[in-house]
Amino acid sequence: MARTYDLVMTHKLDADDFFIHRVQQHCAERRLNFFLIEPLWVSEFLDKYDRGEVWARVLLNLHSEHHDPTDLYHRLVRLAEARGTRVIDPPAVARPAFDKAALHPRLLAAGLCAPHTVIVPRGDAPQFRLGEAERAELGSPFVIKPAQGYGKRGVIFDATSEADVTRSMAEWPDDRYLVQRRIVPRSIAGEPAYFRVYHVFGSIWCCWWNCYTDRYRTLRPEEEEQHGLRPLRGILVPLAALTGMQFFSSEVALTEAGEFVLIDYVNDQCHLLCQTASPQIGVPDDVVAAIAQRLVESAHTLIAHG
């Protein structure tokens, strides 16, 4: 008989013990047995899963490479989905949401605001040329990013010509690239109006995220009211409905014109290094703790409803 776990979690290398311990704590409180699939164990765990020696009711995916079918975590998550494990979020849902080139036209069709974008297939890059109207819409400098990149890899923030697509290609090989208007956030109380917003099974947390220094701080309710920032929460509700995603974050900028613009649409494996562990780039501890609790609550609900 297979050893069954209620919740297993792939271990992302930039998640620290604070988040892991909060997940363990809430699992214990709800009498859910939990297993952390660290890099040391992933190969053995995958083998045992494939042979039917272990099984999981829910898998929380914090580390898999969507673009790399040879990645062990990628293979594990796909196998779990095929075996009937409830995956947060399932590859069939997460991969289309993660692909910025695929998602961009869907955002516009749904009435969500995103930067003016030209999508360039990899094969077209050598002969790619911007028309006069496109160049006017993009402005200069503009941004180039790979469709399935993350962590700023392959992102060119100071592009000025079509040739800069090759710079992105060299850093991150991909099928398609987005050439986008560079969005500059307005300043509020001396800091950029740029935000990281988390969606976890219908619950939403908002953080200031300084796009120049990577520093986070929690957006307080009184600041939402004072600075007219309540629309931030409203953006993620239709985005979740559009993509089917339950656990993700988005980057949103507020411009001088008063527009809330989606910059990085869907990050499906969220950075959850806490601020105590890393003051410069960590997520506020209260947000990390709340996300851990909500994820375990949601896993418990998934298990209870079969």
Return the amino acid letter for 267: N
What's the rounded Cα separation, in Å, for the pair 106 and 147?
A: 14
Rounded distance between C-alpha atoms, residue 145 and residue 153, angstroms: 8
| pLDDT beyond 60 at 91 | yes
Please give the pLDDT value at position 63: 87
**Considering the chain, what is the average pLDDT of its residues?**
94
Q: How far apart are CA 229 and CA 219, in angstroms?
A: 9
In this prediction, residue 151 carries a pLDDT of 81
Query: Residue 138 has which token pair?
Result: 């993009």
Q: Where are the domains of the chain?
A: 3-89+294-304, 116-180, 185-267
Does the pLDDT value for residue 15 go beyond 80? no
Residue 118 has pLDDT above 70, yes or no: yes
With a CB cutoff of 8 Å and minimum separation 6, the contacts of 31 are none
The topology under which CATH files domain 3-89+294-304 is Rossmann fold (3.40.50)
- Split at pLDDT 50, 70, 90, the class of 75 is very high
Q: Is the pLDDT of residue 41 over 60?
A: yes
* CATH number, span 185-267: 3.30.470.20
User: Which pLDDT does position 1 carry in this prediction?
Assistant: 72
Of the options 3.30.1490.20, 2.60.40.420, 3.40.50.300, 3.50.50.60, the CATH number for the domain spanning 116-180:
3.30.1490.20
Whether the upstream peptide bond of residue 89 has omega within 30° of 0, thus cis, is yes
CB burial of 287-300 (b: ≥16 within 10 Å; e: otherwise) equals bbbbbbbbbbebbb
- Identify the DSSP state of 154: T
Domains 3-89+294-304 and 185-267 share a fold: no
What DSSP string runs through 49-89?
HHTTSEEEEEEE-S---TT-TT-HHHHHHHHHHHTT-EEES
- pLDDT 10s digits, 227-242: 999 999 999 999 999 9
The answer on pLDDT for 13 being more than 80 is no
Distance CA 211, CA 157 (A): 12
pTM over 0.85: yes
Q: pLDDT tens digits, residue range 164-218?
A: 999 999 999 999 999 999 999 999 999 999 999 999 999 999 999 999 999 999 9
